[in-house]
Amino acid sequence: MKISIKHIFFKSLAIVLTIAISHFVYKTIYWEPELKDQGNMLFKLREFQWHNDIIYIGESSNYWISPADEDKRTISEMVNDSIEGQRLSGMQSPAFHAGMYLPIIENIDTRSRVKQLVVTMNLRSFGQPWIYSGSENSLQRTKCFYQSYAPLYNRMCAALGFYYNPQADAQEKKMLHCFEFDTLKVDFPLKYNTIKSWCDVVKFPLPDGTEDFPKRQLADHYIKAYAFQIDVENNIRIKDFDKIVEICKAKNIQLYYNILGENVQWADSLVGSELVYFMKANRDLLMERYSKKGVIMIDNLEEVPGDYFGEKDWTTEHYNQYGRLIVAKNVAKALNKAFELKSLKN
């Protein structure tokens, strides 16, 4: 068969035209509903950024409400009700971390009304169980929809699996490796210098000679979630939070990092003061690092009493209405203070 240049030209043209038409049709008809379903935070951002001075970005801590709560407001709604002269809206998605917030923040239009951004800083998200979480795969797929490329390209990345696609068993293997070999280095005597060795010795014997297994399981969760030291050189979350700082500077947005309250009381009573030491040390490191970078830090780590946590059998940042109110008040206080200072300057 003879192949002419004309032949190739018309065939290439047909392909290019099909892609162009597909893009147009997709963007006009399918993109909005698909974004609402698959990339909800970006969907919300596209509207919120034109009607809000402040955006509050977080994970499930913002929307989790205890069935017993009379006040059903989310943290961001409580904050919005406690600030004056400014409007704030919250966007959240379960299990999101700084790496997921990053592309959303990149999408904030510099011409928009948003001049302040509150980002939740979940201490557990710096630890191995979250970094090597089995849900990372689906998060990364969602991330495709937040990329700042053409919507059709983003869609094809998600459909064809063109994203960081860690296998759940490989993730688990890495996590277990860290539990066994990542040593905790402190300047006081510590009996157990790895998560594994620590979990191995924590026991809750009962008078009948058996063990209080639920309590032991919970203590294990606490150790796995909090017994780590943030390595600022290599921790992936640090890199993501650093990038968020850079982006906000470039977009001229005042950034707030909201260190979420953890159940320090339970950590202390279940495992002991050594675990609390690591929680506080990591908090102090983050406070210092990001204050120096111009971020306004809101420290809620020890603010929420143990009884205000909604779930007692797991390590979460899910608070009842009183817990949410404490966090919200602290965020609002920081926002109001900055607003007053700005007003004074003006």
Partner 1 sequence: MFLPLVFGLFFALPHKWRWLLILVASYFFYGWWKIEFLAIIIFSTIVDFVCAQKIDSSNNDAVRKRWLWLSLSLNLGLLFLFKYFYFFVGSTDWVQGLVHPHARLRDFVDFFGKALPVGISFYTFQTMSYTLDVYYGKAKPEKHLGHFAVFVSYFPQLVAGPIERFSHLNEQLKKHQYLNYKNLQAGFRLMLYGFFVKMVIADNLSYTVTSIFDEPTKWKFYWNIVGVFSFSFQIYADFFGYSLIAQGAAKLFGVNLMDNFNLPYLAHSITDFWKKWHISLSQWFRDYLYIPLGGNKVSKQRWVFNISIVFVLSGLWHGANYTYLFWGALHALFYLIERFFPFKIKSKSVAQIITFLSVSLAWIFFRANDFKSALAVFKGIFNIQAGGRQLDTQPFVFLLLLMFGLFEIYRKNKRFDHFCNQLNAAKRWAIYCFMLFCILTLSGTEYKAFIYFKF
Under the rule (CB under 8 A), what is the footprint of partner 1? 1, 3, 11, 14-15, 17-19, 21-23, 25-26, 30, 34, 38, 141, 152, 155-156, 158-161, 165, 169
**What angle do helix axes 321-345 and 75-82 make, rounded to 10 degrees?**
40
Of 176 and 184, which CB lies nearer to partner 1 in the complex structure?
A: 176
Q: How far is it, in rounded angstroms, from Cα 178 to Cα 338?
A: 40
**CB of 23 or CB of 73, closer to partner 1:** 23
Alpha-carbon gap, residue 221 to 313, rounded angstroms? 9
Question: Which is closer to partner 1, CB of 158 or CB of 301?
Answer: 158
The least distance separating partner 1 from the CB of residue 166, rounded to whole angstroms, comes to 13
**Residue-by-residue DSSP string for 23-65:** HHHIIIIIHHHHHHHH-HHHHHHHHHTTT-SEEEEESHHHH--
DSSP 186-221: -SS--S--SHHHHHHH---B-TTSSB-HHHHHHHHH
Pick between residue 11 and residue 312 the one whose CB is nearest to partner 1. Answer: 11
Tokens for 153? Answer: 């390209």
Q: Which is nearer to partner 1, 50 or 153 (CB)?
A: 153
**Least gap, CB of 89 to partner 1 (angstroms):** 26
Q: What is the DSSP letter of 149?
A: S
The letter for the amino acid at 136 is E
Smallest distance, Å, CB 137 to partner 1? 9
Minimum distance of partner 1 from residue 41's CB (angstroms): 16
Whether the CB-CB separation of 18 and 152 falls below 8 Å is answered with no
Distance (Å, whole) CA 165 – CA 85: 44
Q: Please, what is the minimum distance in Å from the beta carbon of residue 275 to partner 1?
A: 26
- Give min distance, CB of 14 to partner 1, in A: 5
Nearer to partner 1, 26 or 204 (CB): 26
Report in angstroms how near the CB of residue 227 gets to partner 1 at its nearest: 22
Tokens of 15: 């392909």
Q: What type of residue is 215?
A: K
Residue 170 vs 236, nearer CB to partner 1: 170
Residue 109 CB neighbours (<10 A): 12
CB nearer partner 1, residue 14 or residue 341: 14
Q: How far apart are CA 222 and CA 228, in angstroms?
A: 11
Name 255's bridge partners. Answer: 117
Region of 272 (left: φ > 0; alpha: ψ -120 to 50; beta: rest) is left
Half-sphere exposure of 301 (CA within 13 A, CB side): 22
Least Å distance, CB 122 to partner 1, is 26
